[in-house]
């Protein structure tokens, strides 16, 4: 070996080491398969925006570790989501995933993903089965269990002595869960219970029936476009003056309120978060989000933000190592981060134990419509399915 070749070999070896060094510090890949198209697309967009904001506030890092966020659109189709998940896991080597917005997509993808040894943190969907019988050590929910908001509204009715309620929801699984959740804590009289077709656009017939039934209060669950249609038509019929509307936070998130306009004023709704929750993390989140995206955050954005910071807390604890699933799991379960919701910890089934509030749509001084806190309904609320979950028993 001549001196020249030796030098070359040494240089190559040095280069190799350098590359290997860089490889060990390669960013942690986080797969986000969420819903960005269809009428529900704004939910996924808000979750993604909230998540990205948490990264941007820390120069692209979470928990001091470089992360790469891979965002994919599932188009609200379970088949798409499954395909993308397989690709991310097999070709990209993704070990941590998040993103699911709709429960039907979640049910079709999450059980398989977590069986493959990947950690999944749901930023929104919280179907009952994943909280109960089908709970899994690799599955976490950073948002809520689906029934929580309805339960809170039922409890609020009971606390406030509100009675003679008329219930409306679309005729599908989540609609029935919503009314069941409400009735779990509601003790008064139900005047009428109506299930409408999923995706219905015109509610004139139901509204005429409702007026005829003459209830004192209305509780409705219409997510997305159905909610906009229903609220507008309800107000046009002049019913909001005599019979107040109550619903879950999904029916009065800021995007919906903006789309409905003045008709949304006064709607009372339940949620785990509100813009005016008074804690430093939330104040900073709301200010930064409004500045970055030029609109107020929704509860979905808050969930995306919390999901990112939860992952950050776990990455900080493991030093950015995602190959040791057990350690990562343990760090996630500790939920060692400051949530925009204030109190936040995980139950044995990896679903949140948190406070649930009631909010009301009001007009701010600058004319902007927004939600304002009215009351705290539940303190450290647990979901109804934790007992069916075999974890921690």
Binding site for another protein (CB under 8 A): 36-39, 41-42, 45, 171, 193-197, 199, 201-202, 204-206, 208-209, 212, 224-229, 232-233, 236-238, 255-256, 258-263, 295
Q: Name the residue nearer to another protein (CB basis): 29 or 77.
A: 77
The structure tokens listed for 370 are 């927004």
Residue 11: partners with Cβ closer than 8 Å, 6 or more residues away: none
Q: Name the residue nearer to another protein (CB basis): 90 or 236.
A: 236
Q: Do residues 66 and 3 make contact, with C-beta atoms less than 8 angstroms apart?
A: no
CB of 212 to another protein, least distance (A): 5
Q: Name the residue nearer to another protein (CB basis): 90 or 171.
A: 171
The structure tokens listed for 96 are 């941590």
Q: Do residues 70 and 94 make contact, with C-beta atoms less than 8 angstroms apart?
A: yes
Q: Name the residue nearer to another protein (CB basis): 99 or 320.
A: 99
CB of 53 to another protein, least distance (A): 17
CB of 155 to another protein, least distance (A): 25
Given phi > 0 = left and psi -120 to 50 = alpha, else beta, which region is 274?
beta
Q: Name the residue nearer to another protein (CB basis): 116 or 214.
A: 214
The structure tokens listed for 246 are 């109550």
DSSP labels, 117-177: T-EEEESS---HHHHTTT--TTEEESS--TTHHHHHHHHHHHHHT--SEEEEEESSHHHHH
The structure tokens listed for 353 are 């134990």
CA dist 307 and 314 (Å) reads: 11
Q: Name the residue nearer to another protein (CB basis): 89 or 299.
A: 299
DSSP labels, 69-95: EEEEE-TT-HHHHHHHHHHHHHTS---
CB of 255 to another protein, least distance (A): 5
CB of 216 to another protein, least distance (A): 19
CB of 233 to another protein, least distance (A): 5
Q: Name the residue nearer to another protein (CB basis): 109 or 254.
A: 254
Number of Cβ within 10 Å of residue 114's Cβ equals 20
CB of 342 to another protein, least distance (A): 28
CB of 177 to another protein, least distance (A): 16
Partners of 62 in the β-ladder: 65
- Nearest CA-CA partner of 165 in 183, 148, 150, 177: 183
Q: Name the residue nearer to another protein (CB basis): 144 or 234.
A: 234
């Amino acid at each position: 070996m001549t001196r020249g070749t030796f030098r070359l070999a040494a240089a190559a070896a040095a280069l190799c080491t350098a590359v290997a060094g860089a490889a060990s510090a390669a960013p942690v890949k986080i797969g986000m398969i969420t819903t960005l198209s269809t009428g529900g697309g704004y939910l996924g967009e808000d979750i993604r925006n909230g998540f990205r904001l948490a990264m941007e506030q820390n120069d692209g890092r979470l928990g001091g570790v470089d992360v790469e966020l891979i965002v994919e659109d599932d188009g609200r189709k379970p088949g798409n989501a499954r395909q993308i998940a397989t690709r991310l896991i097999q070709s990209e080597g993704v070990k941590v995933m998040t993103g699911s917005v709709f429960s039907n997509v979640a049910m079709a993808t999450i059980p398989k993903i977590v069986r493959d040894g990947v950690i999944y943190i749901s930023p929104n969907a919280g179907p009952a089965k994943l909280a109960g019988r089908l709970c899994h050590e690799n599955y976490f929910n950073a948002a809520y269990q689906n029934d929580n908001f309805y339960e809170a509204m039922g409890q609020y009715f009971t606390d406030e002595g509100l009675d003679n309620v008329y219930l409306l929801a679309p005729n599908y699984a989540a609609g029935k869960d919503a009314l069941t959740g409400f009735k779990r804590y509601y003790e008064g009289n139900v005047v009428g219970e109506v299930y409408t077709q999923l995706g219905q656009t015109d509610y004139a017939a139901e509204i005429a029936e409702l007026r005829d039934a003459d209830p004192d209060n209305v509780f409705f669950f219409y997510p997305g476009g159905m909610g906009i249609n229903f609220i507008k038509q309800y107000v046009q019929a002049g019913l909001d003056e005599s019979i107040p509307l109550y619903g879950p936070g999904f029916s009065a998130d800021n995007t919906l309120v903006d789309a409905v306009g003045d008709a949304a004023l006064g709607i009372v709704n339940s949620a785990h978060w509100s813009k005016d929750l008074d804690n430093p993390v939330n104040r900073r989140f709301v200010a930064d989000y409004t500045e970055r995206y030029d609109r107020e955050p929704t509860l979905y954005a808050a969930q995306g933000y919390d999901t990112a910071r939860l992952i950050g807390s776990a990455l900080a604890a493991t030093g950015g190592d995602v190959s040791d699933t057990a350690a990562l799991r343990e760090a996630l379960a500790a939920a060692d981060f400051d949530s925009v919701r204030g109190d936040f910890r995980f139950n044995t089934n990896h679903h949140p134990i948190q406070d649930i509030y009631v909010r009301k749509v009001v007009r701010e001084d600058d004319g902007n419509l927004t939600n304002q806190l009215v009351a705290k309904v539940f303190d450290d609320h647990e979901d109804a399915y934790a007992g069916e979950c075999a974890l921690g028993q």
